[in-house]
Amino acid sequence: MRLLVVEDDRDLNRQLVAALEQAGYAVDRAFDGEEAFFLGETEPYDAVVLDLGLPKRDGISVLTEWRKIGRTMPVLVLTARDRWSDKVRGFDAGGDDYVAKPFHVEEILARLRALVRRAAGHATSEIVCGPVRLDTRAGRVLVDGNPIKLTSHELRLLSYLMHHTGRVISRTELVEHLYDQDFDRDSNTIEVFVGRLRKKLGVEIIQTMRGLGYLVAPTTPGGT
Ligand code: CA
C-alpha cells in the first residue's frame, strides 16, 4: 500500500512518514498544497493524510479539487484543533475521516488501516484467502495457523493482492502501489518477489495470469 502524507510542519511530517513506513507502507510526502494536489492528481495512492492549514493552497481546496476531477482515494483529514467547523468542512469537501491535533500516531495508523480496508471492500481487520490469513492490525501472516516470516516488501505485496482479491493486478499496478516516488522502480523485480512469496507461503494462492498480472481468488464464506 502506498500513502501520501501532506503536512507542512516538517517535524510532524517526518514523524508521520517514519511511523507509516515502520508499519509497512510505501510513503510519499508533500509540504504544501500545490505539491500535494499535483501528487494526488497523478499518483495512485491507497490513502492520503491531509493537513488543512497548508502554504500555497489550503487542504480543503486541494481535497475539493481532487474529488471534482474524480480522485476517489480515502482521505484522512488532520484538523489543527478539535473544532467542529473544521471537521464539517473536511467531510463536506470529500474527506473520509479526521483526526484532531495533537494526536497519537497509533490512532492515525488504526484509522488508515480501516480506510484502506473499507476502500477495498473488507469490513474486518482480518483478510482470509484459503489457508492464508492476513492480520492487518498486527501486520502478520498465518498459513494454516502458523506464522510466516516475511520481509516488509513481501508483506506489502501480499497485503496488496489480498486486499484486492478477485481482481487481476498488473505488475505496473503493483509497482505503483508498493514503492514510493523515490524508489528505483523496476517491474521485473515484482516477479522475483512473487516467487519468494510463493515459496514462503508454501501454498498456491497467487495465480499468474499470463501477460496480465496476478490474481488471488477470494474465499467464499463457508468454504475452505
Ligand atoms: Ca499546517
Q: What is the pLDDT of residues 108-167, one digit of tens each?
A: 999 999 999 999 888 888 999 999 999 988 889 999 999 999 998 899 999 999 999 999
| pLDDT confidence of residue 223 | 45
Pick from 176, 200, 131: which is nearest to 1 by CA? Answer: 176
The answer on 105 and 10 residing in a single domain is yes
What is the CA(53)–ligand 1 centre distance, in A?
4
| pLDDT confidence of residue 221 | 57
CATH code where residue 74 lies? 3.40.50.2300
Last residue of a domain, one of 96, 119, 142: 119
What is the CA(59)–ligand 1 centre distance, in A?
9
The answer on 31 and 87 residing in a single domain is yes
76: left (phi over 0), alpha (psi -120 to 50) or beta: beta
- pLDDT at residue 90 greater than cutoff 90: no
Neighbours of ion ligand 1 (CB under 5 A): 8, 51, 53
What is the CA(12)–ligand 1 centre distance, in A?
10
Kindly indicate the confidence band of residue 220, based on its pLDDT and cuts at 50, 70 and 90: low
Rounded to the nearest angstrom, the gap between the alpha carbon of residue 96 and the centroid of all alpha carbons in its chain is 14
**Enclosing domain of residue 97:** 2-119
Domain count, the chain: 2
What digits encode the pLDDT tens for the residues 61-88? 999 999 999 999 999 999 876 678 888 8
Q: How far apart are CA 94 and CA 99, in angstroms?
A: 15
Residue 222 maps to a domain: no
What is the CA(71)–ligand 1 centre distance, in A?
22
- How far is the first Cα of the chain from the last one, in angstroms, to the nearest whole number? 27
What digits encode the pLDDT tens for the residues 156-202? 999 999 999 999 999 999 999 998 887 777 777 888 999 999 999 99
Q: Check if the beta carbon of residue 152 is closer than 8 Å to that of residue 180.
A: no
The answer on 210 and 175 residing in a single domain is yes
Residue 224 maps to a domain: no
Between 33 and 221, the higher pLDDT residue: 33
The answer on 172 and 114 residing in a single domain is no
Give bridge partners of residue 6 from the DSSP assignment. Answer: 30, 50
Looking up cell 496480465 gives: 212
Q: Check if the beta carbon of residue 207 is closer than 8 Å to that of residue 166.
A: no
What is the CA(193)–ligand 1 centre distance, in A?
38
Last residue of a domain, one of 67, 102, 119: 119
